[in-house]
Amino acid sequence: MFDSFMINTWIAATIVAITAGVLGFFVVLRRSAFAAHALPLATFPGAAAAQLAGVQPLWGLLVFVAGAVFLLRQLQKLGRKDVATGLVLVTLMAVGSLLLSMTNAYGPAVFSLLFGEVLGVSSADLLPVILISVAVMLGAMFVYRPLLLQSAFPELAISRGVRAGTIDLLFLCLLGLVTAMALPVVGALLVFSLLVAPAATAQVLSAHPARALALSVALSIGLIWSAIALSFLTNWPVGFFVGSIGALLFSSTRIFRYFRNRLKHERDRKAQHA
């Protein structure tokens, strides 16, 4: 599990988990889970185009994620955000299927783009992951306060001069960069799992922003580490463990909170009647 050929896997997975944990906190807070699901799948044609052109997948991903963010932002101005997101998703997925059909490695390419190759990360893959992760973290730090205010209290943010359109665009750009960074490593489906499950669990456990953000990062790291270890031991797909553990983590936390609140309510009721 800790052999030399696995070192790059642990490093890349940890970097992706930290970045996804930070941005996932805002994804859940802003109720943007659909966008977090759509953008990784919408950038799918970028990797397909790069494969067709014979260049690094990252370049195709960056081009298409920029296009997806621009298209999504323009469509959101015209109507409902969920409809705009759905339109971008189906349009770019259609383009991706067309591009992949033009290659001679359709099946393996689709599997790699959807589920990643986290157990086969090379040293050449690490540098782009590190650079984009640093850019995303710096961007998140730069807009942390206005992004947090606009996500939690949009009306208050407007009254304090925060430009909602600018914050929305910056958030989509950061989300797009996370997608472009993580998709070749962990795949489109695992990006969504890492963005949503740890952050949603963290916000159930704590309402304090700083603590919830730290918990989101810690849970994201724990999730991907557990998935890699179990995948290595069982030879089952990493994606299965990321998705199943993430769902189990969130549901068990919600159940625990429900029974804890119910027990507290019963105690308060008995105390009032005493």
Instruction: Give per-residue pLDDT as tens, 38-86.
Output: 887 777 777 778 777 777 777 888 888 888 888 888 887 776 777 888 8
The ranges assigned to domains in the chain are 4-273
CA neighbor of 92 nearest in space, from 64, 66, 114:
64
Using the 8-state DSSP alphabet, how is residue 205 labeled?
A: H
CA neighbor of 64 nearest in space, from 82, 75, 49, 81:
49
Q: Residue 135: is its pLDDT beyond 70?
A: yes
CATH superfamily of 4-273: ABC transporter involved in vitamin B12 uptake, BtuC (1.10.3470.10)
CA neighbor of 13 nearest in space, from 132, 118, 125, 128:
118
Given this model, what pLDDT does residue 183 score? 76
CA neighbor of 185 nearest in space, from 10, 48, 1, 2:
10
Q: Residue 88: is its pLDDT beyond 80?
A: yes
Mean pLDDT of the chain: 82
C-alpha span between 40 and 27 (Å, rounded)? 14
CA neighbor of 61 nearest in space, from 44, 46, 42:
46
Count the neighbouring beta carbons within 10 Å of the beta carbon of residue 132.
22
206-246 confidence digits (pLDDT tens): 888 899 999 999 999 999 999 888 888 888 878 788 888 98
Kindly calculate the radius of gyration of the chain based on its CA atoms and give it in whole angstroms.
Answer: 20
